[in-house]
Amino acid sequence: MIQKFISQTITNLSKQRISCFSTKTIAEYVWIDGSGLGTRSKAKTIDHKVKSLADLPNWNYDGSSTYQALTHNSEVIMKPVAYYPDPFRGGDNVIVMTETF
């Protein structure tokens, strides 16, 4: 009887966990680093499904760690230019190709 209760509780918690994240989208922003040979990425959680580029905000990162800026002025802006369904995460998640400024 206790085993059935535990099993049911785990099942219910799993359903709640899935439903609480079902409205979120993980957008994996991808860019080419300052070496021109490597790629970098960083994930952003968005509160809605991505239906167009307008749904993807510009984002930033510290360019000094990617060979793109000096440490005293290192903010680099990523601008989304294309997005594709994420074949690794599945669902509504996307991979976002960006330009950097």
Three-state SS string over 31-95 comes to: EECCCCCCEEEEEEEECCCCCCHHHCCCEEEEHHHHCCCECCECEEEEEEEEEEECCCCCCCCEE
Average pLDDT of the chain? Answer: 82
The more confident residue out of 96 and 4 is 96
Mean pLDDT in residue range 58-71: 72
List, in sequence order, every residue forming a beta bridge with 73; answer none if it has no partner.
70
Report the top-level CATH class of 24-100: alpha beta
CA dist., res. 95 & res. 88, Å (int): 10
Provide the pLDDT for residue 14.
Answer: 56
The more confident residue out of 2 and 79 is 79
CA dist., res. 55 & res. 37, Å (int): 29
